[in-house]
Amino acid sequence: MMRHNLLITSDLVGSSEVRRLRRFANVYRSSELDKKTLADRLRQTDALLISSWPEILTDGTLRSMKRLRFIQGILVGVDHIPFQALARKVVVSSNAGAYSLEVGEHAFGLLLSAAKRVVDTHNSVARGKTDFKEFRGTSDDILVLRGKTLGVIGYGGIGAVVAELGRSFGMNVIALSRSRRSASGSRGGGGLRFVRGRGALCCEGWCRPGEHIEGRHSQSGGTLRAPQAESQLQVRDRCMVVQGGEGDPRH
């Protein structure tokens, strides 16, 4: 039986994973090959395992890889892959869902940090403001999450984790989804409801029509880009925004 050749271009793949893969294919690491050997291996490569797009895979190199049939990405997204340079026979697979729990918990941690003003209160204590009267100015904006509304834009793997954590904190969760099945208007259990489209968000009261203000320029209110809505949404004043993909909390 013919064994296929797999080339790994990412240092994120550990030696134990390589040993398991070698049960099914001839596995090579690009970092362990000299220039001439690598050029020969590329022409014989059937599959690639990558993280970021390797610099060695230029358009010319890809044209010489006649045997290439499959590319597996370690990252969740595939925006960095030059599909226009790939032959039509090449199948590309992302790693969608691989880090949903980790990123979802991280996003909710940022939300908690912003709601409880963890950084500000820490800095106040570090500056010696331990007296309640001096500390009060920082603590006025500390929020209790129970009973608040949590809007989740994109109810995929990460969004589902964030929504579940929000429900465990007693929050009312509204999830914007482009899936007709999940966004049919039925409740997804206690404290969780699905909506679809920009108009639905505005009706729920956590965005508003009008001129768009970039969130990074505004401390209260701002613009939220939502792929599902295919537009920008201007969020209400005192609306807390956490962008899970970039780990960027905004107020």
Sequence spans of domains, the chain: 5-93, 100-250
Can you name the CATH fold of 5-93? Rossmann fold (3.40.50)
Q: How confident is the model at residue 223 (pLDDT cuts 50, 70, 90)?
A: very low
pLDDT of res. 218: 29
pTM over the 0.85 mark = no
* Domains 5-93 and 100-250 in one fold: yes
Per-residue H/E/C for the chain:
CCCCEEEECCCCCCHHHHHHHCCCCEEEEHHHCCHHHHHHHHHCCCEEEECCCCCCCCHHHHHHCCCCCEEEECCCCCCCCCHHHCCCCCEEECCCCCCHHHHHHHHHHHHHHHHCCHHHHHHHHHCCCCCHHHHHHHHCCCCCCCCCEEEEECCCHHHHHHHHHHHHCCCEEEEECCCCCCCCCCECCCCEEEECCHHHHHHHCCEECCCCCEHHHCCCCEEEEECCCCEEEEECCCCCEEECCCCEEEC
pLDDT of res. 83: 95
Give pLDDT tens digits for 78-118.
Answer: 989 999 999 999 999 999 888 899 999 999 999 999 888 88
pLDDT of res. 239: 64
* Mean pLDDT of all residues in 142-148: 87
CATH of 100-250, one of 3.30.200, 3.10.590, 3.40.50, 1.10.3300: 3.40.50
Give pLDDT tens digits for 13-29.
Answer: 999 999 999 999 999 99
Q: How confident is the model at residue 153 (pLDDT cuts 50, 70, 90)?
A: confident
